Amino acid sequence: MTYLNALNAELRRAGVPALRRRRIVTEFADHLHENPSAELGAPRELARQFADDLATRLARRAAVVAFTGLALTGIAFAAVLLIGTRIVLLPLGTHQVGFVTRRATIVAPLYVFAAQVALAAGVLALLRAWRLRRVPVITAADAAILHRRVGVALLAGILTAASAPVSGIFAARGEVYVRPADVSGICVLILLAMLWFPLRGLTLRPSRAGAAGDLRFDLGSRDSRITPLRIALALSAVILIVVAAAGLVADDPYDGIARGLLDGAACLIGFVVLGRYLGLRTPVETPAKTQPETQPGIAQ
């Protein structure tokens, strides 16, 4: 096996994409042409370096892209709702306006819960990526956590967009208008496309071993008294108080308290169910990709 063949095989094994592989091998071929006796280093070690860099960038970029996509989806829906509201307020005559009530009733709880999960997971992914922004090569565990958070955020975002109750707003024929159902469909498609990142992360993972931090790491806390559970409890309490206060302002304190209890409980349930998977509760150690020790015979 020639050096270049060995390098190509190791790059493929490390999960380096084909286009990048071709470029690397071409560069090394040019190098060997200039100096056939050049000491380029072990192909496996070089492949690991390329893969580590790519995997680190992929994980960080996934968080930023997913958060941006979810934020834009939120803005798009907010805009559609605003347009819808304006249409309702204007005497448009031929325009048929309103939600499909039955459908909205069925999907509304799903819509509300999924939107909150998407927001929480998206923010957590961005927070972890920001914490790791200066780390040259992140650990395999951190990469796994980032991709899990991105995956959960995107899936919840897709669920939100697909079940959005705005899809029942209609406008008359022959008019130029925004069709909310189209907006919903476009958002679903965009978020689906973004799932490429966590799926790619399954095969392209850094080789660096080590544990990933928990919620304290995300928040930059080193105080041992502040545990992830206490943070979750505090957050649930804040949600309860804020929602209850909102109910009070809206002259419906009982409804506010009921919603606050539900939202606070949902936050705690989310922490219990997804906490370990999303790297909130205890440091997670994902084994780094291991490769057999034996090196194939290489002829330069």
Partner 1 sequence: MKAEELKGHLDGLILSVVASESLHGYAVIEALKQRSGGDLALPEGTVYPALHRLEAEGLLKSEWSTASGRRRRVYSITRRGETELGASRERWRLFSSTIEALLS
How far, CA to CA in Å, does 203 sit from each of 9, 67, 147, 195, 218?
15, 22, 11, 14, 25
Check residue 93 and give left, alpha or beta (phi > 0: left; psi -120 to 50: alpha): left
Q: Least CB distance from residue 121 to partner 1, whole Å?
A: 26
Using the 8-state DSSP alphabet, how is residue 201 labeled? H
Q: Least CB distance from residue 273 to partner 1, whole Å?
A: 36
**Which CB, 46 or 158, lies closer to partner 1?**
46
**Which CB, 54 or 187, lies closer to partner 1?**
54
Please check whether residue 43 is in contact with residue 298, taking contact to mean a CB–CB distance below 8 angstroms.
yes
Question: What token pair was written down for 68?
Answer: 């941006």
How far, CA to CA in Å, does 78 sit from each of 128, 161, 165?
27, 12, 12
**Which CB, 57 or 103, lies closer to partner 1?**
57
Which residues lie below 8 Å from residue 206, measured CB to CB, with a gap of 6+?
Answer: 51, 52, 55, 56, 59, 137, 138, 139, 140, 143, 288
Tell me the three state secondary structure of residue 39. coil
Q: Least CB distance from residue 40 to partner 1, whole Å?
A: 4
Q: Least CB distance from residue 201 to partner 1, whole Å?
A: 17
**Which CB, 51 or 267, lies closer to partner 1?**
51
Q: Least CB distance from residue 119 to partner 1, whole Å?
A: 29
- How many whole angstroms separate alpha carbon 175 and alpha carbon 173? 6
Q: What is the residue whose two structure tokens read 């906490």?
A: 275
Interface residue list for partner 1 (CB under 8 A): 23-24, 26-31, 33-35, 38-41, 46, 49-50, 53, 57
**Which CB, 14 or 125, lies closer to partner 1?**
14
**Which CB, 45 or 175, lies closer to partner 1?**
45
- How many whole angstroms separate alpha carbon 181 and alpha carbon 170? 9
Q: Least CB distance from residue 2 to partner 1, whole Å?
A: 15
Question: What token pair was written down for 13?
Answer: 């094994």
Residues constituting the chain: 300
**Which CB, 39 or 251, lies closer to partner 1?**
39
